[in-house]
Amino acid sequence: MKIAVLTLGCKTNLAESDYMKQLFLKRGHDLVKLKDSPDICVINTCTVTKKSDYQCRQIIRRALKTGARVYVTGCYSQISEEEIKRISPEIRIVRNDEKDYIINVIDDNTESKTSSKVRIDRARPFVKIQEGCNFRCSYCVIHRARGRSVSRQRDEIISEINLLEEAGYDEVVLTGTHIGLYGYDISGRPGLSELIEDILQNTKRIRIRLSSLEIHEIDDRLYQLLSEKRIRPHLHIPIQSADDRILSLMKRPYNLNMLQSKLKVLYDIKRDINLGTDIIVGFPTEGDSEFYNTYSFLKENRINYIHIFPYSDRPGTDASKMSEKVPEPVKRQRYDILKELDQSKRRGYRESQIGCAVEVVMERMAENGMIKGKSENYLDVMFEAKEFQKGKTVKVKILKQSGGVLVGSTY
Q: What is the CA radius of gyration of the chain?
A: 22
Sign of the four-CA dihedral 388, 390, 395, 400: positive
Cβ distance 172 to 209 under 8 Å? yes
In the complex with ligand SF4, the residue whose CB is nearer, 137 or 157, is 137
Helix (H, G, I), strand (E, B) or coil at 27: coil
**CA pair distance 213, 232, nearest whole angstrom:** 13
Q: What is the DSSP letter of 183?
A: T
In the complex, minimum distance from the CB of residue 164 to ligand SF4, in angstroms, rounded to a whole number? 26
- CA separation for the pair 179, 150 (Å, rounded): 10
Pick 217 or 363: Cβ nearer ligand SF4: 217
CB-wise, 130 or 377, nearer to ligand SF4? 130
- C-beta of 160: minimal distance to ligand SF4 in Å? 23
3-class DSSP assignment, residue 142: helix
Nearest distance from C-beta of residue 19 to ligand SF4, angstroms:
20
CB nearer to ligand SF4: pick between 171 and 214: 214
- Chain residues binding ligand SF4 by CB under 6 A are 133, 135-137, 140, 142-143, 177-178
State in angstroms the smallest separation of the CB of 177 from ligand SF4: 5
- Partners of residue 30 on adjacent β-strands: 2
Q: Which is nearer to ligand SF4, 151 or 375 (CB)?
A: 151
Closer residue to ligand SF4 (CB): 22 or 317: 317
Residues 6+ apart with CB under 8 A from 195: 129, 154, 157, 174, 182, 183
Q: Is 20 helix (H, G, I), strand (E, B) or coil?
A: helix
Reference 284, options 331, 242, 214; nearest CA is: 331
CB of 221 to ligand SF4, least distance (A): 21
Residue 48: CB minimum distance to ligand SF4, A: 8
DSSP for 258-299 reads HHHHHHHHHHHH-TT-EEEEEEEES-TT--HHHHHHHHHHHH
Residue number with CB closer to ligand SF4 (216 or 245):
216
Of 212 and 304, which CB lies nearer to ligand SF4 in the complex structure? 212
Q: How far apart are alpha carbons 179 and 11 in whole angstroms?
A: 12
Measured between alpha carbons, how far is 76 from 91 in angstroms, rounded to an integer?
14
168: left (phi over 0), alpha (psi -120 to 50) or beta: left
Residues 213 and 237 sit within 8 Å (Cβ to Cβ)? yes
CB of 329 to ligand SF4, least distance (A): 26
In terms of DSSP bridges, do strands 371-375 and 92-94 run parallel, antiparallel, or are they unpaired? unpaired
The minimum distance between CB 231 and ligand SF4, in angstroms, equals: 22
DSSP string covering 339-385: HHHHHHHHHHHHHHTTT-EEEEEEEEE-TTS-EEEEETTS-EEEEE-
Q: Helices 192-202 and 154-166: crossing angle, nearest 10°?
A: 40
Name which of 148 and 347 has its Cβ closer to ligand SF4.
148
Residue 168 CB, nearest distance to ligand SF4 (Å)?
Answer: 33
CB of residue 299 vs ligand SF4: minimum separation in angstroms? 24
